[in-house]
Amino acid sequence: MPIREPARRCWACPRGRRATGTSTLSFWYQPHTADDTCNTTTCQYDWMEAQVRTTSGTTLASLFKLCNNNGTWTQLTADLSAYKGQTVTLWFNVHLDGSTPADDTWMYLDDVTLTQSTKKNVLSSI
Ligand SMILES: [Ca+2]
C-alpha cells in the first residue's frame, strides 16, 4: 500500500492572488521597572522593545522602545502592509543591564493580532 502524503492546508495563503489591503498589527503591553525610565534614544540601562525583523535578524522597523513603571495596559498598532509577501519576525525583548542590587524591568504582553483589512480575518493571534 503506497504511503499517502497527508493533505496540506495553508489557511493564511491567498489562492493565486496577491495580498491586498492593509495588514495591521496590534498588541497590548504593560511596562514595569525598578530602573531609570527612558524613551527611544535615551535608553541606556534597562528597556523593553518590539521590532519587525527579517528572519535572519535584521531590523526592519522599531515599534517601540522605552522603560517606565506605569503598569498600564497600553495598545500599540502598526501598519505592516509594507512587508506584504515577506516572512517577518515580530521580536519582543526586555533588556536588563544586570546591575547589583537588581533593579529589574519586565513587561506583560497580550492580544497580539495581525489583521488584514480587506478580509476582516485575524491571520494570527496569541
Ligand atoms: Ca536594571
Question: Which candidate, 80, 91, 90, places its Cα nearest to that of 19?
Answer: 80
> Is residue 13 in a domain?
no
> What are the tens digits of pLDDT across the range 75-110?
999 999 999 899 999 999 999 999 999 999 999 999
Asked whether residue 41 is domain-assigned, the answer is yes
**Higher-confidence residue: 21 or 38?**
38
**Dist. CA 41 → ligand 1 center (Å):** 17
List residues bridging with 124 in a β-sheet: 114
Q: How far does residue 5's CA lie from ligand 1's centre (Å)?
A: 52
Q: What is the pLDDT of residue 56?
A: 97
Q: What is the DSSP string of 13-39?
A: --SSS---S-EEEEEEEEEEESS--EE
Q: What is the pTM of this model?
A: 0.77
- Give SS3 for 42: helix
Taking the centre of ligand 1 as the mean of its atom positions, its distance from the CA of residue 96, in whole angstroms, is 5
Answer yes or no: is 121 within a domain. Answer: no
Give the sign of the dihedral formed by CA 93, CA 95, CA 98, CA 102. negative
Range of the domain at 34: 25-109
